[in-house]
Structure 1
Amino acid sequence: MAVLHSAPKYASNEGVGDALKAALGDKVVGVHEEHGELILTVARAALADVMRTLRDDHEYQQMMEIAGVDYPSRAERFEVNYCLLSVTKNHRVIIKISTDEATPVPSITSIWPNAGWLEREVFDLYGVLFAGNEDLRRILTDYGFEGHPFRKDFPLTGHVELRYSEEDKRVVYQPVTLPQDFRSFDFMSPWEGADYVLPGDEKAAETPAPPPVDKPQTTDKPSDTGAGAKTDAKASDKVSAGAPAEETGGKDADAPKPTEDRPAKEERKGKTKDTPEATEVKKEDGE
């Protein structure tokens, strides 16, 4: 039975990549699909022309997000990803370009004005420059902040610290002083293993390895472990006998003696008798 849902499904990526590659020509460096998203890698200099073509000719009306990625080992270490949405076709596409620390990326604020804020965010966090953005200022970090915190080589504690100075009676910046070095990174995945010696690893080298065993001990037969039919029979005899027989030497314990009866009480003197009615509270009239 088909299940109907109020939310429409996304359009399929089938044939879209080939159509966009044919329309954009040599401006497209590569096309591939990943995690259900169609990704087009384009030439950096042709970014504005590609975006205008996608908006006007292929109905990608909205630019939803701009995200940066840092790959320090690459010559062009930064990637800038543009997420576009076609409202009429209900389809999404990602446009990707690469750049380095000094080469600016063409701004697309003339195509989508909301790109100005997003380009400022990528500039603030990664240091990517955008040519044509007339208001390229920091947007998330504080005034006077040094460095770009989303870069992989940015120290965890930053370069400067912000504090209030009692002497100057104002907020001041001062260099961070650390007792150990936090600014050396090897960019190695912890799952791949490290070549350097971690604290505590030197103890493993000092402790000698145990000597090899010529003939390891095995328990191939039940008799090697003390188990077997005789052992099971003895265990069952003890369980069937029970604990009381062991304590009394095999005799059953005597029954407890009956409790002596309490002598009868003398009859209460007076008019009141020892009856349930005599202990009840008398009710007033009307209750």
Structure 2
Amino acid sequence: MRAPAPAYADLNGETIEVAKATLGAALIDATDRVGEVALYVGRADIVAALTALRDTPGLEYQQLMDIAGVDYPSRPERFEVVYCLLSLTRNHRIHVHVATDEVGPVASVTGIWPVAGWLEREVYDMYGVLFTGNADLRRILTDYGFRGHPQRKDFPLTGFVELRYSEEQKRVVYEPVQLAQDFRSFDFMSPWEGAQYVLPGDEKGLLPEAKGAPTPLSAAEIVKADKAQSPVQSPKAPSEPYAKKDAQSTADTGKGDPHPGNRADEKPVDSDVIPAKDRGQNQ
């Protein structure tokens, strides 16, 4: 069964010709690069141009797939709002570009495609582009009270503030960014390639270590671990509480005491249990 939409064909040339005839003076430029058609439209004519691209036979771009933002800080109008359109009947896509600045608003296209409301909010949040006619132009990705627009080229990668939970205030607080790594001095010289200074911790390798332990000493300077044995100090006199006492008699050498804690004179005189028939301890 054949698909209802035609297979991919090179429609860029005829699309540009029909777009030029349809948009007229509203079309500033039309390009065909890397297999994609880009139409540049004036900011005041964006709603009429997109309506014509949707309704004109031979164009018929029925769906708005996405709205993207681009930042060119060196341009007088530094922002571009890019509308990505799809024609279901022609199986073809185009991009419509509109240039603006930080204060010049772009007309909302929510009257043509209601889905544009969310997409315009994202461009406003990330770039700060204003849209007139959007009934709910609020931030959509950043936090409440966020300062700046993250995808502008002049926005710092670290942001302006950082948040943390304050035990004193029992809530999340915003504070200026403090980056401790900015005050560190980094050394990119590898110690395995012959650093000309003593690394921290090298003083521990000046003495012989265990067999196989790493050490910065050369093979001519190092003492073999098998030959360098540290003297082991034996326990001192028997008076030390942790030292083992010397054997005082043969009973302490393994023979043992014949009655350890079980002599007759060590038993109680009056026993609590009188063993008798049928009257034992557990009866």
TM-score normalised by L of structure 2: 0.60
Q: Is 1:96 aligned to residue 97 of structure 2? A: yes
| Cα deviations by residue, 1:246-285 (Å, 9 ceiling, x for unpaired) | xxxxxxxxxxxxxxxxxxxxxxxxxxxxxxxxxxxxxxxx
**Corresponding position of 2:43:** 44
Helix, strand or coil for the counterpart of 1:109?
A: coil
Residue pairs, 1:56-135, within 5 angstroms: 56-57=55-56, 58-135=59-136
Q: Closer, same or farther in 2 for the Cα pair 1:7/1:59, shift >3 Å?
A: closer
Q: Indicate conservation of the 8 Å contact 1:11/1:89, yes or no.
A: no
Deviation for aligned residue 1:8: 3.0
Contact 1:61–1:87 under 8 Å retained in 2: yes
Structure 1 pair 75–134 and aligned structure 2 pair: CA distance change class (3 A): same
Equivalent positions of 1:229-268 (< 5 A) are: none
Report the alpha carbon displacement of residue 90 of structure 1 after superposing the two structures with TM: 0.9
Per-residue deviation, 1:142: 1.2
40 and 91 in structure 1: CA distance in 2 versus 1, 3 angstrom threshold: same
Query: Is contact 2:8–2:92 with CA below 8 Å preserved after alignment?
Result: no
Give the match's secondary structure for 2:99.
Answer: strand
Q: Distance in 1 between matches of 2:92 and 2:10?
A: 5
What is the aligned partner in structure 1 of residue 34 from structure 2? 35
Corresponding residue number in structure 2 for 1:24: 23
* 1:7 shift after superposition: 9.1
Preserved contact between residue 62 and residue 86 of structure 2 (Cα < 8 Å) = yes
For each residue in 1:200-258, what CA deviation from the matched residue of structure 2 results, as whole angstroms up to 9, or x when unmatched? 9xxxxxxxxxxxxxxxxxxxxxxxxxxxxxxxxxxxxxxxxxxxxxxxxxxxxxxxxxx
Q: Contact 1:164–1:170 at 8 Å: present in 2 too?
A: yes
Is the contact between residue 11 and residue 90 of structure 1 (CA under 8 Å) also seen in structure 2? no
Q: Is the 8 A contact 1:121 1:140 kept in 2?
A: yes
**Distance in structure 2 (CA, Å) of the matches to 1:16 and 1:32:** 11
Does the aligned pair in 1 maintain the 2:64–2:85 contact within 8 Å? yes
SS at match of 1:136: coil
**1:180 Cα deviation from its structure 2 partner:** 8.1
Paired with 2:149 and 2:73, the residues of 1 have a C-alpha distance of 13
* Equivalence for 2:167: 166
Alpha-carbon distance in structure 1 between the residues aligned to 2:8 and 2:54:
21
Per-residue CA deviations over 1:164-204 (Å, capped at 9, x if unaligned) read 001001111112134688xxxxxxxxxxxxxxxxx99xxxx
Could you tell me how far 1:35 is from its partner in structure 2? 1.7
Counterpart residue type for residue 135 of structure 2? E
Alignment match, 2:139 = 138
Q: Structure 2: how far apart are the matches of 1:67 and 1:48? A: 16
Distance 1:178 1:171 in 2: 19
Alignment partner, residue 184 of structure 1: none
Does the residue aligned with 1:14 lie in a helix, a strand or coil? helix
Identity of aligned residues (%): 61
Asked whether the equivalents of residues 162 and 172 of structure 1 are also in contact (C-alpha less than 8 Å), the reply is: yes
**Residue segments in structure 1 that go unaligned for 5+ positions in a row:** 1-5, 182-198, 201-287
Q: Which runs of structure 1 show a deviation greater than 6 angstroms over 4 or more consecutive aligned residues?
A: none
Q: Secondary structure at the match of 1:172?
A: strand
Measured in 2, the distance between the counterparts of 1:15 and 1:43 equals: 22
The aligned counterpart of 2:236 is none
Classify 1:121/1:10 alpha carbon distance in 2 versus 1 (closer, same or farther; 3 Å): farther
* Contact 2:6–2:91 (8 Å) recurs in 1: no
Q: Distance in 2 between the 1:149 and 1:134 partners?
A: 23
Q: Alignment RMSD, CA only? A: 1.9
Give the CA deviation at 1:11: 4.8
- Matches of residues 206-285 of structure 1 in structure 2 within 5 Å? none
TM-score (norm 1): 0.59
Q: 1:93 offset after TM fit, Å?
A: 1.0
Displacement, 1:73? 0.7
Does the Cα contact within 8 Å between 2:54 and 2:60 map onto a contact in 1? yes
How much has 1:15 moved relative to structure 2? 1.8
Query: How far, CA to CA, are the matches of 2:84 and 2:146 in structure 1?
Result: 28
The alignment partner of 1:152 has SS state of coil
Matched-pair contact (CA < 8 Å) for 1:81–1:96: yes
Q: Deviations over 1:122-174 (max 9, x none)?
A: 00000000011010001111111111000001011100111100100111111
Equivalent-residue separation in structure 1 for 2:71 and 2:86 (angstroms)? 24
Aligned partners of 2:6 and 2:89 also within 8 Å: no
Residue 109 of structure 1 contacts residue 116 of structure 1 at CA under 8 Å; is this kept in 2? yes
- C-alpha displacement of 1:14: 2.1
